[in-house]
């Protein structure tokens, strides 16, 4: 363990810092965070994001400059952007870049899978002692501004209601803590949302029906602790797929506790399975909305697949 600590301490990390993460928490506390890192003997330099999706560009540039150890400073959204930079760059295979997250943002769900601590003191020890491992990465294609686009995700992607909530969340996401925030939006949006009829193709079959939500998971936690894909395993080479049929508004309210306990599979309108690729299309003309890692992306048709063990990360997953 001491040898691992010495090796991690000697590595030079690049911290990609999102100053507006956590409602400005990162900006306010970065000087003391940096001082603690220096005090612990961590070798690092810093770059700061200047807008949405800039972290992906900074990750690309960092790797092109020879950096192979990257830390995203922020929440799940910042991690999402940095990993997209790692996957889309061409300077080296993505598996040669070690990634981790210093969680200071509003949403911190991905860290739950990998045992990454939120306390700065514990996190510094984690950086010095954490184990290198690999996880799968999801990919998806969708449409935005009339152009087909491709994005990667490391946690959970959501279509239909989940994406609708994520879209509505963009105006409020820095105002309250993640769990309270998502509960608030789940209940508020519930009464204005119309359940679409969707066509879902996976594992050699096609399902066409009204679907309240669709979730595809690499890891199991999202939305401030929701477990909509409790069967997700981050390195098994499969997407965890959950389809929830047309559940009444009262029914959604009644089963909300099961979203957090991971026991939603008992519901007769919920289907859970695993697959390598999924295609989701509208069957009634209503737009198919999509989000990934809590970030609203655009509309369908949406195709989702998996890249096996393509992200090298520092974690403490049991």
**Whole-angstrom distance, CA of residue 243 vs CA of residue 30:** 41
* Confidence band of 7 (pLDDT split at 50, 70, 90): low
Helices (H) and strands (E) in the chain, counts: 9, 14
Task: State mean pLDDT over 248-255.
Answer: 77
What is the predicted pLDDT for the residue at 2?
Answer: 47
Tokens of 240: 């965890």
**Whole-angstrom distance, CA of residue 104 vs CA of residue 118:** 7
| Partner residues linked to 205 by β-bridges | 202
What is the predicted pLDDT for the residue at 167?
Answer: 81
* Confidence band of 179 (pLDDT split at 50, 70, 90): low
pTM value? 0.90
What is the predicted pLDDT for the residue at 174?
Answer: 52
Give me the helix-helix angle, 120-129 and 2-10, nearest 10°: 100
* Confidence band of 52 (pLDDT split at 50, 70, 90): confident
The pLDDT of residue 115 is above 80: yes
What is the predicted pLDDT for the residue at 68?
Answer: 97
Tokens of 65: 């400059």
Q: Which residue in this structure is represented by tokens 């209601």?
A: 161
* Confidence band of 132 (pLDDT split at 50, 70, 90): very high
Residues 241, 278 contacting (CB under 8 angstroms): yes
The pLDDT of residue 207 is above 90: yes
**Whole-angstrom distance, CA of residue 73 vs CA of residue 235:** 24
The pLDDT of residue 152 is above 90: yes
What is the predicted pLDDT for the residue at 1?
Answer: 46
What is the predicted pLDDT for the residue at 57?
Answer: 97
All domains in the chain, ordered by first residue: 2-129 (3.40.50.10330), 137-308 (2.60.200.40)
| Bridge-based pairing state of the strands 295-315 and 197-202 | unpaired
| Bridge-based pairing state of the strands 156-160 and 289-292 | antiparallel
- Residue 39 burial (10 A CB sphere; 0-12, 13-18, 19+): exposed
**Whole-angstrom distance, CA of residue 5 vs CA of residue 58:** 27
Dihedral in degrees, nearest 10, Cα atoms 99, 15, 177, 36: 120
Residues 29, 118 contacting (CB under 8 angstroms): no
The pLDDT of residue 105 is above 80: no
67-89 tens-digit pLDDT:
999 999 999 999 999 999 999 99
Q: Which of 186, 214, 182, 175 is nearest to 198 (CA)?
A: 214
22/16: higher pLDDT: 16
What is the predicted pLDDT for the residue at 108?
Answer: 87
Residues 1, 55 contacting (CB under 8 angstroms): no
**Whole-angstrom distance, CA of residue 113 vs CA of residue 209:** 32
What is the predicted pLDDT for the residue at 23?
Answer: 76
Tokens of 138: 């999801």
Tokens of 137: 């990465």
């Amino acid at each position: 363990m001491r040898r691992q600590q010495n090796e991690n301490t000697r590595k030079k990390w690049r911290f990609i810092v999102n100053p507006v993460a956590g409602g400005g928490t990162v900006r306010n506390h970065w000087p003391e965070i940096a001082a603690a890192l220096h005090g612990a003997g961590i070798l690092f330099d810093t770059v700061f994001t200047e807008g949405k999706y800039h972290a992906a560009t900074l990750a690309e540039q960092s790797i092109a400059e020879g950096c192979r150890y990257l830390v995203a400073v922020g929440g799940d959204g910042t991690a999402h952007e940095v990993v997209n930079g790692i996957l889309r760059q061409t300077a080296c295979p993505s598996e040669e870049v070690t990634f981790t997250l210093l969680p200071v943002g509003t949403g911190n769900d991905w860290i739950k899978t990998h045992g990454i601590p939120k306390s700065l003191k514990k996190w510094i020890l984690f950086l010095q002692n954490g184990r290198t491992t690999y996880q799968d990465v999801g990919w998806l294609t969708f449409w935005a501004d009339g152009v087909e686009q491709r994005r990667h995700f490391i946690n959970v992607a959501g279509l239909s209601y989940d994406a609708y909530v994520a879209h509505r969340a963009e105006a409020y996401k820095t105002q309250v803590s993640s769990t309270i925030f998502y509960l608030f939006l789940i209940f508020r949006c519930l009464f204005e949302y119309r359940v679409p009829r969707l066509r879902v193709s996976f594992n050699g079959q096609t399902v066409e029906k009204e679907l309240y939500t669709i979730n595809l998971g690499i890891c199991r936690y999202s939305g401030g602790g929701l477990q909509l894909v409790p069967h997700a395993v981050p390195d098994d080479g499969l997407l965890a797929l959950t389809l929830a049929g047309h559940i009444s508004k009262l029914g959604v309210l009644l089963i909300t506790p099961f979203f957090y306990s991971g026991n939603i599979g008992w519901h007769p309108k919920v289907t859970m399975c695993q697959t390598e690729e999924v295609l989701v299309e509208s069957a009634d003309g209503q737009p198919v909305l999509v989000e990934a890692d809590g970030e609203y992306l655009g509309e369908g048709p949406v195709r989702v697949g998996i890249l096996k063990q393509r992200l090298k990360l520092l974690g403490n997953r049991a």
